[in-house]
């Protein structure tokens, strides 16, 4: 652009010079007229060019053409179902549509409302929060969860929700901020609704429920959390490697969206690693960090190793001592989890199963459901297994586990899931609850992280007194 202006300036200088030397003769004036026209034409073309360049620049700054932008909307039944499971989604939806919600009290489904009233009435004895609860049960007020009524949220939140009351010893981040706690409270409030819908859809995802759910995402009533949802125990095996802190960070922040959860992080090692503890503290999910080394004979083998087995068995042992209710789930540190699966698995009474993406050549490992019944399993490798499922594809009720004192995972590579599920016998196929929209949805993935070579040693002389001395201490080396 600058170049164009300079060009024009020079050109007009010549034109002026030319007209000056032409005097008052006709030829001179014709020449000067011709030059003027030429000058104006040049200016016109140059200006047009500049506009075009500016327009192109403007277009290139637009992130997407209008037709390429996909707006947040829920269409398929499974998506709606999962949307309801997710407490955070509920809150987000409310903040975008709370104007309507305040003025038009509408309930989600009849049965949801009924259950909620029952729950809230029971809680009416719980101090000041109870009063609020009692009031809402008589005149079931329906207000957006994210409606600007912070005092209401705070009052019942503080009294009723003991964040993470999942029994046993647990540690939480010391740096937890008040804003985080508030979010947890609100999330729990939303869970009451998710709980009821979860029960309905987890068992029978009827079209009627779907239709009602569809309406539900537009207007949301306030549901008061009178009791916490059943606890979740997430058993995560982990081991020392360059990717370890990254994997735990990613998984930890997924789990942070889930209320009433205890994260059992169990490392295949002889000692805990302060770097792991520091990472867990920073994430702020209630956790228990333990060690359970792989037996030496398996470590030495040249063949496939039973990865994460001693860790998981240590987790089971912990639960036998410290848990009485709720559900356990084996969440490997490198997989990917949609948080809605956690809200669904909470209510399992025996064993729940669902599909896992990115498993073997079939791309997915899943129970096969025909006419609502479990009729088999789809997986690229069956290997004579009774339960050819992936570790990320099932969860078990704590009560059910404790009724089977000998249930545990075998040190048998490839047969860990099968062996564990077999050890839960008696387990009838009809006792297996089919989650994720009766296994029509994928909410967990067996992702695998690329292995990184161990970081090379830092040249301490060259980088003395620099930040590198600090970050070098944060690198996990084998």
Name the strand (E) or helix (H) holding 392. none
Rounded-to-integer distance, Cα 46 and Cα 285, Å: 62
Instruction: Compare residues 135 and 358 and give the one whose CB is closer to ligand UGA.
Output: 358
Name the strand (E) or helix (H) holding 378. strand 373-378
Stretch that binds Mn ion, among 129-137, 263-271, 326-334, 437-445 (CB under 5 A): 326-334
Select from Mn ion, ligand UGA, none the partner in contact with residue 397, using the beta carbon and a kind-dependent cut-off of 5 to 8 Å: none
| 3-class state of residue 395 by DSSP | strand
- Residue carrying structure tokens 């509408």: 106
Task: Based on the shown chain and the rule CB under 6 A, indicate whether residue 414 belongs to the binding site for ligand UGA.
Answer: yes
- The most distant pair of C-alpha atoms in the chain lies apart, rounded to whole Å, by 116
Q: Among candidates 201, 268, 214, which has minimal Cα distance to 239?
A: 268
Task: Based on the shown chain and the rule CB under 6 A, indicate whether residue 380 belongs to the binding site for ligand UGA.
Answer: no
Torsion of CA 436, 347, 93, 111, to 10 degrees: 110
CB of residue 319 to Mn ion, shortest distance in Å? 22
Rounded-to-integer distance, Cα 191 and Cα 369, Å: 28
Task: Based on the shown chain and the rule CB under 6 A, indicate whether residue 308 belongs to the binding site for ligand UGA.
Answer: yes
Q: In 22-164, which ranges are continuous DSSP H helix?
A: 26-61, 77-85, 87-103, 110-122, 127-138, 150-160
Task: Based on the shown chain and the rule CB under 6 A, indicate whether residue 379 belongs to the binding site for ligand UGA.
Answer: no
Instruction: Compare residues 297 and 462 and give the one whose CB is closer to ligand UGA.
Output: 297
Question: Is residue 332 annotated as involved in ligand binding?
Answer: no
CB of residue 237 to ligand UGA, shortest distance in Å? 4
Can you say how many angstroms the Cα of residue 123 is from the centroid of all Cα atoms in its chain? Answer: 31
Task: Based on the shown chain and the rule CB under 6 A, indicate whether residue 416 belongs to the binding site for ligand UGA.
Answer: yes
403 is catalytic: no
Among 334, 418, 433, 438, binds Mn ion (CB under 5 A): 334
Task: Based on the shown chain and the rule CB under 6 A, indicate whether residue 228 belongs to the binding site for ligand UGA.
Answer: no
Q: Where are the strands (E) in 158-313, listed by range?
A: 232-238, 261-267, 287-291
Stretch that binds ligand UGA, among 77-85, 138-146, 328-336, 381-389 (CB under 6 A): 328-336
The answer to whether 374 and 434 have CB atoms below 8 angstroms apart is yes
Subset of residues 344 to 373 that bind Mn ion, contact rule: CB under 5 A: none
Catalytic residue among 417, 433, 438, 469: 417
Q: Computed from CA positions of residues 326, 330, 334, 335, in that sequence, does the dihedral angle turn out positive or negative?
A: negative
| 3-class state of residue 86 by DSSP | coil
Task: Based on the shown chain and the rule CB under 6 A, indicate whether residue 199 belongs to the binding site for ligand UGA.
Answer: no
Task: Based on the shown chain and the rule CB under 6 A, indicate whether residue 391 belongs to the binding site for ligand UGA.
Answer: yes
Both tokens of 452, joined, read: 């990184």
Instruction: Compare residues 228 and 267 and give the one whose CB is closer to Mn ion.
Output: 267
Annotated binding residues for Mn(2+), as ranges?
334
- Positions touching ligand UGA (CB under 6 A) are 237-239, 268, 294, 305, 307-308, 311, 332-334, 390-391, 413-414, 416, 446, 448
Residues that bind Mn ion (CB under 5 A): 332, 334
Write out the catalytic residue numbers.
Answer: 417
């Amino acid at each position: 652009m600058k170049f164009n202006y300079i060009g024009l300036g020079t050109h007009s200088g010549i034109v002026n010079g030319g007209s000056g030397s032409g005097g008052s003769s006709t030829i001179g004036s014709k020449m000067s007229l011709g030059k003027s026209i030429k000058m104006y034409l040049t200016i016109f073309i140059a200006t047009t060019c500049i506009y075009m360049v500016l327009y192109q620049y403007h277009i290139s700054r637009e992130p997407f053409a209008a037709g390429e932008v996909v707006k947040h909307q829920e269409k398929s039944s499974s998506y709606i179902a999962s949307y309801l499971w997710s407490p955070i989604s509920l809150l987000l939806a409310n903040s975008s549509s709370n104007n309507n919600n305040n003025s038009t009290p509408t309930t989600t489904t009849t049965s949801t409302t009924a259950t909620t009233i029952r729950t809230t009435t029971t809680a009416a004895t719980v101090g000041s929060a109870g009063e609020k609860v009692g009031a809402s049960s008589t005149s079931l007020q329906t207000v957006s969860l994210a409606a600007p009524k912070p005092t209401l949220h705070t009052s019942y939140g503080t009294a009723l929700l003991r964040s993470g009351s999942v029994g046993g010893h647990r540690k939480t981040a010391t740096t937890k901020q008040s804003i985080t706690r508030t979010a947890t409270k609100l999330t729990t409030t939303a869970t009451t609704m998710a709980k009821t819908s979860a029960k309905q859809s987890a068992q029978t995802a009827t079209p009627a429920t779907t239709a009602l759910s569809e309406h539900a995402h537009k207007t949301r009533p306030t549901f008061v959390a009178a009791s916490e949802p059943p606890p979740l125990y997430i058993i995560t095996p982990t081991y020392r490697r360059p990717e370890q802190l990254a994997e735990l960070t990613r998984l930890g922040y997924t789990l942070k969206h889930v209320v009433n959860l205890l994260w059992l992080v169990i490392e295949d090692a002889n000692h805990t690693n302060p770097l792991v503890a520091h990472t867990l503290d920073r994430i702020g999910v209630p956790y228990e960090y333990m060690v359970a080394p792989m037996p030496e004979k398996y470590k030495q083998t040249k063949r496939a190793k039973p990865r994460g087995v001693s860790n998981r068995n240590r987790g089971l042992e912990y639960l036998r001592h410290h848990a009485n209710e709720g559900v356990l789930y084996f969440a490997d540190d490198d997989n990917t989890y949609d948080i809605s699966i956690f809200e669904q698995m909470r209510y399992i009474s025996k064993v729940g199963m669902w599909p896992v993406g990115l498993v073997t050549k079939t791309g997915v490992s899943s129970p096969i459901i025909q006419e609502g019944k479990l009729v088999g399993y789809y997986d690229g490798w069956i290997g004579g297994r009774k339960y050819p499922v992936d570790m990320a594809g099932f969860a078990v009720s704590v009560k059910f586990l404790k009724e089977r004192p000998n249930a545990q995972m075998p040190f048998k590579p490839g047969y860990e899931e099968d062996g564990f599920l077999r050890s839960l016998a008696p387990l009838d196929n009809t006792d297996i609850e089919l989650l994720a929209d009766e296994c029509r949805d994928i909410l967990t993935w067996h992702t695998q992280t690329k292995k990184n070579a161990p970081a090379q040693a830092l040249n301490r002389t060259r980088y003395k007194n620099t930040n590198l001395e600090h970050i070098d201490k944060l690198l996990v080396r084998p």
